[in-house]
Amino acid sequence: SVTQEVSLKSKLKEVFGFNQFRGTQEAIINNIIRGHNTFVIMPTGAGKSLCYQLPALVLDGTAIVISPLIALMKNQVDQLNAFGVNAQFLNSTLSKAEINKVKKETISGEVKLLYVAPESLTKDETIDFLQKAKISFVAIDEAHCISEWGHDFRPEYRKIRGIIDNIGNLPIIALTATATPKVQLDIQKNLQMDDASVFKSSFNRTNLYYEVRPKHNTKKQLIQYVKKHRGKSGIVYCLSRKKVEEIAELLRVNDVKALPYHAGLDASVRMANQDAFLNEDADVIVATIAFGMGIDKPDVRFVIHYDTPKSIEGYYQETGRGGRDGLEGNCLMFYSYDDIVKLEKFNKDKPVTERDNSKLLLQEMASYADSAVCRRKQLLHYFGEIYEKDCQFCDNCLHPRERFEAQDEVSLA
């Protein structure tokens, strides 16, 4: 209704400070408010969080948000609290007393959004508690974690549907930035959401500039590149923890405010480094792919893949963390066939079917890197979208000559 439209928009302004909904946000929000199952497929940075945050504020009771990472929950809860929203999380970082406080405030109806880690959700005591609370709906963020074909499979995610059924008959909104049809099907099937309204938007990120360079004098190239973007926020992805440490140190001795992030660091150090990056005490975070899922820093100006990524899907997710505010985002990847060979060796211990799949993903990555075709066209094609023209905003479109020379260098190496 018109009044509802007005009130949604005024909430958007009042709580989040935004004047306009983006894309299909408003239709999605209305769909979940009406109690319909909803499946949202939109690229990273499109604004998926708002699609469950805003309805949670409008509806009675508490919305459950299932989210795979503690860092991700903390990021969103901090942000919502800063907006004056009562959002809390339940995960392994809380003490018994803190857990009890969250439960009490939820049952009394004060908490509008309760973020829960899947491991906490599967506990009997959590289910008992949620049965006592008034739940408005369940949001499953990063829903691709359900699928073994996704790049971030979490076995506990496959139990979510059964648990929701134990809590009550609740509408579900599942959200993902995974663009491959196979993963989408898997998600819908596992969540038994055949009836869901599906909102899928284009995966084109027009403000991201894609560039691939051969791995050649990489350290020097990296330093030059980062210095060119001095004072701006950037992410440098490396394959191993050791490399992360090495590159963070390299940048530091070159006067760049850089910090490392990987799963081998103490949780407290990891969180402190993430916070320093989010608060701009550090400009650059050097990380393994453990960093970044769902992290909302709108003004990341560059994303560098120092090592060749394992799949186009992963690469696309990681580059998607650049330019979320719609402004400049530079995506630079260093490529060498040696990296592909190295990654293939890691696959040796995997079961056969998984190994074949990983190998295929790697081959696709290599052919993307090697190709002289418009990068955007290739990426969108990979996700089943047709992009007719050349984008004029990638290395292959803007510097076709240099590319060919660079490729010769690689094949000689």
Provide the minimum distance between the beta carbon of 44 and ligand ADP in the complex, in angstroms, as a whole number: 4
Nearer to Mg ion, 75 or 396 (CB): 75
CB of 235 to Mg ion, least distance (A): 16
Q: Is 48 in the site for ligand ADP (CB under 6 A)?
A: yes
Per CB under 6 A, the segment of 14-22, 301-309, 378-386, 405-413 that binds ligand ADP is 14-22
Residue with Cβ nearer ligand ADP (49 or 180): 49
Q: Tell me which of ligand ADP, Mg ion, none is bound by residue 46, counting a contact when its beta carbon lies within the kind-specific cut-off of 5 to 8 angstroms.
A: ligand ADP
Integer Cα distance of 220 and 20 in angstroms: 43
Torsion angle in degrees (nearest 10) through CA of 357, 360, 365, 369:
170
Q: Are 37 and 193 in contact (CB under 8 A)?
A: yes
Site for Mg ion in 33-92 (CB under 5 A): 48
For residue 61, what is the DSSP state? S
Burial 319-351, CB ≥16 within 10 A → b, else e: bbbbbbeeebbbbbbbbbbebbeebeeebeeee
Of 155 and 298, nearer to ligand ADP (C-beta) is 298
- Of the candidate residues 37, 38, 44, 378, the single one contacting ligand ADP (CB under 6 A): 44
- In the complex, minimum distance from the CB of residue 48 to Mg ion, in angstroms, rounded to a whole number: 5
Q: Which of 29, 33, 37, 45 binds ligand ADP (CB under 6 A)?
A: 45
Helices (H), 113-210: 118-121, 124-132, 160-167, 181-190
Selected from 28, 29, 38, 47, the binder of ligand ADP by CB under 6 A is 47
CB-nearer residue toward Mg ion: 294 or 322: 294
How far from the centroid of its chain's Cα atoms is residue 225's Cα?
24
Partner interacting with residue 129 (select from ligand ADP, Mg ion, none; CB below 5-8 Å by kind):
none
Instruction: Provide the 10 A C-beta neighbour count for residue 407.
Output: 17
What's the rounded Cα separation, in Å, for the pair 206 and 163?
A: 39
Residue 19 or 353: the one with the smaller Cβ distance to ligand ADP is 19
- Give the contacts of 375 (CB within 8 A, at least 6 positions apart): 210, 211, 212, 368, 391, 394, 395, 396, 397
Minimum CB distance to ligand ADP smaller for 205 or for 243: 205
DSSP H stretches of helix in 213-351 = 218-228, 241-253, 267-278, 312-319, 337-346
Among positions 21, 137, 302, 335, the unique one binding ligand ADP when judged by CB under 6 A: 21
Apex CA 319: angle with CA 317 and CA 322, to 5°?
115
Q: Where are the alpha helices (DSSP H) in 279-374?
A: 312-319, 337-346, 352-370
Closest CA relative to residue 369, chosen from 360, 382, 378: 378
Give the residue with the Cβ less far from Mg ion, 48 or 377: 48
Tell me the residue nearest to ligand ADP as measured from the CB.
47
**31, 49, 67, 126: which one binds ligand ADP (CB under 6 A):** 49
- CB-wise, 22 or 229, nearer to ligand ADP? 22
Around Cβ 17, how many Cβ atoms within 10 Å? 8
CA 235 to chain centre: 13
Q: Which of residues 269-298 bind Mg ion (CB under 5 A)?
A: 294
Q: Is residue 76 classed exposed, middle or buried when 0-12, 13-18 and 19+ CB atoms within 10 A define those classes?
A: buried
Number of residues located near ligand ADP, criterion CB under 6 A: 17
SS3 state of residue 289: coil
Q: Which residues between 165 and 194 bind ligand ADP (CB under 6 A)?
A: 177
Cβ at position 323, least distance to ligand ADP in Å:
10
In the list Mg ion, ligand ADP, none, the entry touching 21 (Cβ below 5 to 8 angstroms by class) is ligand ADP
Single out the residue of 9, 11, 18, 78 in contact with ligand ADP (rule: CB under 6 A). Answer: 18
Whether residue 270 contacts residue 202, with contact meaning beta carbons closer than 8 Å, is answered with no
Q: Which does 109 bind (CB under 5 to 8 A by kind): ligand ADP, Mg ion, none?
A: none
- What are the Cα distances from residue 165, in Å, to 159, 237, 253? 10, 39, 54
Q: Which residue is nearest to Mg ion (CB)?
A: 294
Cβ 186 to ligand ADP shortest distance, Å: 20
Find the binding residues for ligand ADP in span 287-306 (CB under 6 A): 296, 298
Count Cβ atoms below 10 Å from residue 64 Cβ, excluding itself.
Answer: 27
Single out the segment in contact with ligand ADP by CB under 6 A; choices: 40-48, 84-92, 258-266, 377-385: 40-48
Give the residues lining the site for Mg ion (CB under 5 A): 48, 294
Give the residues lining the site for ligand ADP (CB under 6 A): 18, 20-22, 25, 42, 44-50, 177, 296, 298, 324
